């Protein structure tokens, strides 16, 4: 059977019964729109979540040591540096609140004891100047990198690079300024001052550095790092407590499972309306076959085989369903936009290409699946009986 011919017949028959065709499509339209909207909104939540998490940095392993007051920074640093295939960067992440002063201005800020890789590990960008260097860390130089909030408070429009601020009465030279993080929690992430962690004894009464952040090269590497660090601590302490190792990836995995489950349930519920829509198509195709019994008889008498009749009606039901699917995609995209606008602040929510193509393909399959019974029935009609029908 010539597909083009069957397709143009299908379009003709849909156009000749406009009202009926649209009513039949309605089931598919609503079903497809529901599935698309639901899945897109769920994906929106996922995107929003990933965005928030990745502001903190992705593929990051956090390590805490709380067994005793020992200074384990050297050991942990060496351990991390010993596996460059997994570790991209690592830094201590100890912080304490101190007052930072410049002349007559001052602000209580979070002083962070970090390494020269602190910006990499916690996803900061340098706006001006640079991070301090490895040598600064080795020499416990009194240098610092300040966040936007602190810079604005102390320096206003002045260039802070090379200026000296006072922390706990000690002089620190500013070598860099960080870009603004602009997170939801006020200026917590911008009111900071990073100093080489080797200044811990100078500034802190309790000098031990117990918090660390390790930036892994990728998601898989975080798992390897967690295992390696656990082994390290077990060996160091001879027991499996006294430390804490955690990665957002673990939570992300859990969260993704939840999202997948939600998609499945939501999609399944919306999918039921698709089945109902499919039954509508089956119903109308049965009517169509009955109405066109004579046409089927004519076609068979002039040489149509059963396969020709089946394919004609399958193409017709597939086309009908595809039309419904395409309208459903449009409606679903519109609803996604509207709901996305209502739920998320600044996320333009549109169905992904994968969903659009999938929905269109699925509509065709659905139409053909539910069209098969009527089509098969049509093909089995006896040409003589079919021709006798008025």
Partner 1 sequence: MPLIEIHNLYKVYNPGEENEVRALAGVSTQIERGEFVAVLGTSGSGKSTMMNILGCLDTPSHGTYRLGGTPVEQLSDNQLSKIRSLAIGFIFQGYNLIKDLTALENVELPLVYRNMGRAKRRRIATEALQRVGLGDRLQHLPSEMSGGQQQRVAIARAISTAPPILMADEPTGNLDSRSSREIMELLRALNRQGTTIILITHDRELAGYAARTIELRDGRIISDQPTVLAKEGAV
The site for partner 1 (CB under 8 A) is made up of 1-2, 4-5, 9, 12-13, 16, 294-295, 297-308, 382-384, 387
Question: Which residue number, 73 or 319, has a Cβ lying nearer to partner 1?
Answer: 319
Measured between its terminal Cα atoms, the distance across the chain in Å is 26
Least separation in angstroms between CB 370 and partner 1: 23
Q: Hey, what's the torsion of the CAs at 284, 287, 291, 292, to 10 degrees? A: 60
Dmax (CA) for the chain in angstroms is 107
Least distance to partner 1, CB of residue 295, Å: 5
Query: Considering beta carbons, is residue 35 or 386 the nearer one to partner 1?
Result: 386
Is the Cβ of residue 92 or residue 297 nearer to partner 1 in the bound state? 297
C-alpha span between 210 and 67 (Å, rounded): 9
Closer residue to partner 1 in complex, CB, 10/368: 10
User: Which of 173/294 has CB closer to partner 1?
Assistant: 294
Instruction: Please say which residue, 136 or 311, places its beta carbon nearer to partner 1.
Output: 311
Q: How far apart are CA 362 and CA 365, in angstroms?
A: 5
Q: How far is the CB of 11 from partner 1 (least distance, A)?
A: 11
Q: How far is the CB of 294 from partner 1 (least distance, A)?
A: 7
Q: Which of 236, 197, 192 is nearest to 213 (CA)?
A: 197
Q: Which CB sits closer to partner 1, 174 or 314? A: 314
Task: Dihedral sign for Cα 118, 121, 127, 128, please.
Answer: positive
Task: Output 14 or 150, the one with its CB closest to partner 1.
Answer: 14
Q: Minimum distance between the CB of residue 320 and partner 1, rounded to whole angstroms?
A: 16
Query: CB neighbours (10 Å) of residue 165?
Result: 24
To the nearest whole angstrom, how small is the minimum distance from the Cβ of residue 383 to partner 1? Answer: 5
Select from 56, 49, 55, 53 the least CA-distant residue to 344. Answer: 49
Contacts of 334 by beta carbon, 8 Å cutoff, 6+ apart = none
Of the candidates 159, 118, 148, the residue with the CA atom closest to the CA atom of residue 136 = 118
- Minimum CB–partner distance for residue 378 and partner 1 (Å): 13
d(CA 6, CA 307): 12
Alpha-helical (H) ranges within the chain are: 3-16, 18-55, 73-81, 118-121, 134-138, 148-155, 200-203, 219-237, 248-291, 293-301, 306-343, 353-379, 383-388
- Separation CA 10–CA 3 (nearest Å): 10
Q: Measured from the CB of residue 357, what is the shortest distance to partner 1 in angstroms?
A: 29
Cα–Cα distance, 140 to 127 (Å, whole number): 23
């Amino acid at each position: 059977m010539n597909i083009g011919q069957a397709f143009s017949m299908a379009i003709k028959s849909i156009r000749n019964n406009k009202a009926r065709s649209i009513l039949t499509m309605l089931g598919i339209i609503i079903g497809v729109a529901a599935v698309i909207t639901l899945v897109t909104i769920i994906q929106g939540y996922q995107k929003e979540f990933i965005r928030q998490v990745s502001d903190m940095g992705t593929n990051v392993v956090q390590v805490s040591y709380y067994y005793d007051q020992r200074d384990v920074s050297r050991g942990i640093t060496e351990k991390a540096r010993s596996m460059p295939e997994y570790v991209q960067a690592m830094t201590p992440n100890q912080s304490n609140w101190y007052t930072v002063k410049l002349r007559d201005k001052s602000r209580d800020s979070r002083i962070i004891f970090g390494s020269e890789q602190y910006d990499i590990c916690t996803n900061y960008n340098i706006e001006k100047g640079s991070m301090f260097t490895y040598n600064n860390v080795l020499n416990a130089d009194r240098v610092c990198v300040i966040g936007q909030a602190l810079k604005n408070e102390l320096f206003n429009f002045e260039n802070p690079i090379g200026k000296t601020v006072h922390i706990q009465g000690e002089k620190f030279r500013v070598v860099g300024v960080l870009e603004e993080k602009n997170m939801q929690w006020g200026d917590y992430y911008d009111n900071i001052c990073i100093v080489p962690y080797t200044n811990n004894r100078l500034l802190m009464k309790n000098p031990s550095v117990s918090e660390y952040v390790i930036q892994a090269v990728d998601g898989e590497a975080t798992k390897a790092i967690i295992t390696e660090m656990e082994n390290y601590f077990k060996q160091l302490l001879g027991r499996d407590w006294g430390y804490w190792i955690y990665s957002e990836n673990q939570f992300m995995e859990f969260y993704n499972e939840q999202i997948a489950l939600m998609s499945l349930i939501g999609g399944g519920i919306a999918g039921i309306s698709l089945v109902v829509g499919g039954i509508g198509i089956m119903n109308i195709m049965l009517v169509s076959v009955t109405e066109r019994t004579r046409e089927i008889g004519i076609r068979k008498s002039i040489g149509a085989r059963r396969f020709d009749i089946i394919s004609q009606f399958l193409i017709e039901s597939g086309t009908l369903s595809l039309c419904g699917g395409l309208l459903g995609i449009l409606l679903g995209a519109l609803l996604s936009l509207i709901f996305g606008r209502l739920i998320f602040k600044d996320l333009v929510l549109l169905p992904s290409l994968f969903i659009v193509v999938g929905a269109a393909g699925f509509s065709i399959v659905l139409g053909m699946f539910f069209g098969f019974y009527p089509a098969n029935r049509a093909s089995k009609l006896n040409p003589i009986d079919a021709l006798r029908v008025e």
